[in-house]
Chain A
Amino acid sequence: MRLRLERREHTPAWFGLALPLAAVLATLVLCAGLIVLAGANVFTAYASLFLSAVSSKFNLVETVVKAAPLVFTGLAVAVAFRAKFWNIGAEGQLLAGAMAAAFVGAREGMPDWSLVPTMILAGAAAGALWAALPALLKTRYKVDDVVTTLLLNFVIFYIMTALLDGPWKDPLSGYPDSPDIRMEAEFPILMRATRLHLGVLLALLAAPAVWWVMRRTTLGFAIRVVGENPTAARYGGHNITAVILVTALLSGALAGLAGVGEVGGLHFQVMAGLSPGYGYTGIVIAMLARLNPLGVLPAAFFFAVVVTGAESMSRATGVPVFLADVIQGTALISMLVALLFTNYRLRVVGSGHV
């Protein structure tokens, strides 16, 4: 007896929900081994990991706030991957957006009311431009987008570090932090005594908006067709170069907004640890959501729970917080394996059969 993969003709509709759930379940089972190795009880550890993040109103709001940048980067990746523009650079586009927001937010002499909208626009534009660079290289010179988007993350990170160690360095303390943005540039808080800021609302609205663009507009149609079969798209009269460029701009703008929210709503400045890898987590989120913009919401929430819950799990059980990273990586691999089953089925081949 042995197992073999066979192409399947139809993918059942319920797979859309079942595959991510199965992948998450597989991840938790796989990571349980590590918890045992760390000398903790698996159930206690998972209980504190998942329950602490939602146990109180305060913790829940904090988790939602953490989810906001993940929603944006998840959407950024979901849009790009639909067109098979392999944007691994949401991390860098996020930093570009954050820097633009910090720059605009600290400007004196602009009318107070214009600060927040200008920050949002500038951050989106900066992210879009940073994503346009690899898109131009791809469409014009056929340079591999995986490589360029990934490497540009490091380029912009070091540009940011140079700014923080140079022009933006705090002249008094000497800390590598950018100057704080003006009070008037801070995002309004939506719920008293919490950190629930405007950026969270934008993230929540962005998901259905992106879904609408992808499903109900000719642009979304073109993005899907170019991703699935660029040759048929070209013969059908679609301009592939333009579609990939617009996709990159849209994707980069979304990632840039993740950075804007972090600066405008949370940190009010740029510092080296601004993003603990939100751009990369966005890839896992987009895959778990099967590139569906609406699916990005629960997927981002799940990882926000894991990231915030890891702290209290660590305090309660002594399991290192790095488990959160392992869960992310394992979830990505599990989901990639699970996606195999959209096109294939597993068959047990007995020796008695042909």
Chain B
Amino acid sequence: MTTAMSSPPLLAMRGIRKSFGAVWANDDVDLTLWPGDILGLLGENGAGKTTLMNVLFGVYSADAGRIEIAGKPVVIRDSADAIGCGIGMVHQHFHLVPRHTVLENLMVGRKGRHGRLDRAAARRRLDGIATRYRLRLDADALVGDLTIGEQQRLEIVKALFQGARILILDEPTAALTPQEAEGLFDALRAMSREGMGVIFISHKLNEVRAVTNRVMVMRQGVVVAPETDPRKTSERELAELMCGHELTPPVKPATEPGRVLLRLSGLRTSGEGQRGLRDVSLEVRAGEVLGIAGVSGNGQRELADVVAGVLAPSAGTIEVDGRPVPRPSPRTMQELGIGRIPEDRLGTGLVTGLPLSDSMVLPWIGRPPFSRRGVLDRGAIRAFVEEQMARYGIHAAGPEARTGTLSGGNLQKALLARELAHDPLVVLASQPTRGLDVAAAEFVHRRFLDLRGRDRAILLISEDLEELFALSDRIAVMYEGRIMAVLPIAEATVQRVGLMMTGVSEAA
């Protein structure tokens, strides 16, 4: 709070209440944002952060409460009202038009004078914003050609372009390299110096501590810590505030890697440019976590799809536990013991519109005890799902609850339960803790280490370097479909891995 307290806050939300059915997603929540603030908003999944931000951005209408901007009460009924109030929001998923240029994307939804778009003025404004906040962008580049980091920069610029004084960032660093994340923090600090306010939502507590000047913690719809100094509070203390009980970090005991459970040799896929595998060879041994680092879009998805049996490689071989797999398919890979925790929980894993029980037996429905000769055994399915729900602590209204109503952490637990219940030899996990809170992420990590201790192999694809360094025995770095290097964890540093992620080879 560098600015004088006498001037009104940029934003004041008072007594916000919002219920969904019998659950109070927000119960009497206050939030104050002063000019120059970078406020970290923390909470587990389902704590009410997103609801609060959706109320602020006009997605939901609150049941009670009021919002003041610069001391004046305002009514925000939709996102247009919010933008009119100087509020900008950068979602986890971008809302850009890939086939348009950067400049054109900025002009979407802007009314030109006399029905004409003023390109020259827009270009001047873009230049102004770029220099002021160090958010460089090529105005004429096609958005589809931008990296994820650049697209996010464009989203921020778009908000500033629309006159935002208050910027909401939801998990902004999830898909960025460490270097890109640093660049983002520089821009946020520049905004802070200009007297703007930023609300920063993240599960990465080290980043929250690095960039924010105040932290507000929510739990189960209420504010449990309205005013925490991130510099005087450790990551562990923040995490414990979020989940309301003590946390102990999982320990990684030493193991002796055993036989090779998954061997990939010379894999290629026929994707275009960086979107394909180029001669990928890897081995994952029993009792080992092999981490795959890389900026998203450098072949990780293709690698996961090949191992899952969904994508046929154009060259190369796959061996599971010493046996070659001549014709991989999702079914054969499952039967050979590949468990799959997909990146996209709801896209390729579970089925939002169906009951949880259906989602949890999806790959196994064709065999006993879930079905016999094509006829389902509802009792067996229900018993299995109830057992797993109890075992993994999956919170849902019941086995028949619609899958889409579960929170992210519970969805991930459901997936883990489904894939691990059949004792896989190799677990293929992509971004297994993305969007999960600390307690849920630790739960996932504990399961992986437990599997590692039971001589299973884990292929861990992640963009979260902290996670990779905590779990991996070796880290392979992918860039443009190639494996840049495979480093034993003792030799890997964030600096080395980060550079390789951008394509800088050490040999060169």
On A, residues with C-beta under 8 Å from B are 2, 4, 6, 8-11, 215-219, 221-222, 224-225, 228-229, 231-237, 347, 349, 351, 353-354
Contacts and interface: CB of A to CB of B under 8 A. Distances in A.
B326 interface: no
Nearest to A348: B61
14 contacts: A2-B77, A4-B78, A6-B60, A6-B61, A10-B397, A11-B402, A222-B365, A225-B354, A228-B352, A232-B348, A234-B310, A237-B334, A353-B75, A354-B62
B284 to A, nearest CB: 20
B43 interface: no
Contacts of B67: 354
B375 interface: yes
Interface of B: 16, 20-21, 55, 60-67, 75-78, 308, 310, 329-331, 334, 340, 342, 346-354, 358-359, 362-363, 365-366, 371, 374-376, 378, 397, 402, 405
A237 B61 contact: no
Nearest to A219: B374
Nearest to A220: B376
Nearest to B16: A354
A235 B308 contact: yes
Contact of B21 (A9, A215, A219): A9
A232 B351 contact: yes
Contacts of A228: 351-354
Contacts of B348: 231-232, 235
A2 B67 CA distance: 19
Nearest to B381: A221
A234 B349 CA distance: 10
B77 A236 contact: no
A354 B310 contact: no
B331 A353 contact: no
Given A6-B60, A349-B61, A216 B376 contact: yes
Nearest to B359: A232
- Please name the 6 residue pairs, one residue from A and one from B, whose CB atoms are nearest each other, closest first: A237-B331, A236-B363, A236-B362, A237-B330, A228-B353, A229-B351
A11 B405 CA distance: 10
B352 A217 contact: no
Contacts of A347: 61
A236 B370 CA distance: 15
Contacts, number: 98
A354 B308 contact: no
Given A228-B353, A231-B348, A235-B342, A218 B308 contact: no
B357 to A, nearest CB: 11
Given A225-B351, A237-B329, A349-B77, 15 more contacts: A10-B21, A10-B402, A217-B371, A217-B374, A217-B376, A218-B366, A221-B365, A228-B354, A231-B348, A232-B351, A233-B362, A235-B340, A236-B330, A237-B363, A353-B61
A144 B6 CA distance: 64
Nearest to A222: B365
Contacts of A234: 310, 330
B404 to A, nearest CB: 9
B361 to A, nearest CB: 8
A234 B348 CA distance: 8
A229 B353 contact: yes
Given A218-B371, A234-B310, A235-B342, A354 B351 contact: no
Contacts of B346: 229
A12 B347 CA distance: 25
Contacts of B366: 218, 237
> Counting chain B CB atoms within 10 Å of each CB, which of A2, A353, A354 scores highest?
A354
Contacts of B334: 237
A224 B376 contact: no
Given A217-B375, A354-B65, A354-B67, A232 B347 contact: yes
A10 B402 CA distance: 8
Contacts of B64: 353
A237 B338 CA distance: 12
A255 B167 CA distance: 56
Contacts of B62: 353-354
B358 A235 contact: no
B490 to A, nearest CB: 35
A9 B20 contact: yes
Contacts of B405: 9-10
Contacts of A235: 308, 310, 330, 340, 342, 348-349
B55 A354 contact: yes
Contacts of A354: 16, 55, 61-62, 65-67, 75-76
A276 B346 CA distance: 43
A228 B355 CA distance: 11
A9 B365 CA distance: 27
A217 B397 CA distance: 25
Contacts of B329: 237
Nearest to B377: A216
A127 B353 CA distance: 30
A228 B347 CA distance: 10
> Counting chain B CB atoms within 10 Å of each CB, which of A221, A233, A237 scores highest?
A237
> Counting chain A CB atoms within 10 Å of each CB, which of B55, B331, B362 scores highest?
B362
